Amino acid sequence: MYLLDTNIFLEVLLQRENSQAAKSIFLNNLPTDLFITDFSLHSLGVFLFQRNKHEVYKRFVEDIIIGTEIGIIGLDPEDVPVLVEASKRFGLDFDDAYQYAVAEKHGLQIMSFDADFDRTEKGRRIPD
């Protein structure tokens, strides 16, 4: 089971260089085996709204989040010490530490194009 980093969705939504590899995740896995953090969901909204892509975000939420069984998960206030520890221990910024802490909490592998996760014990899976 995989926690999909924000950049996985951005590749697809913006049709970037790795969009085909990112799409393969959705084709080769059951939606019930895929997760996104609440933080990523809202970060995508911030990113797309700043670029006046409101409808892209709306369709994304309707089609990918509501229309499938991809799980939305996050951290509770009691999990903040794990978040802080991940940031300090692996030199991660807030968003990467959040992803890492969620993956740890839920026993998920991180799927990401972000090499920062390579510094962690969990590492990352790269879509192919």
The whole-number pLDDT of residue 6 equals: 97
What tens digit of pLDDT does each residue of 5-63 get? Answer: 999 999 999 999 999 999 999 999 999 999 999 999 999 999 999 999 999 999 999 99
The whole-number pLDDT of residue 4 equals: 98
Q: Tokens 């085909």 — which residue?
A: 20
Please tell me whether the overall predicted TM-score, pTM, comes out greater than 0.85 for this model: yes
Average pLDDT over residues 121-128: 93
The whole-number pLDDT of residue 96 equals: 98
Domains of the chain: 2-119 (3.40.50.1010)
Say whether pLDDT at 85 is over 90: yes
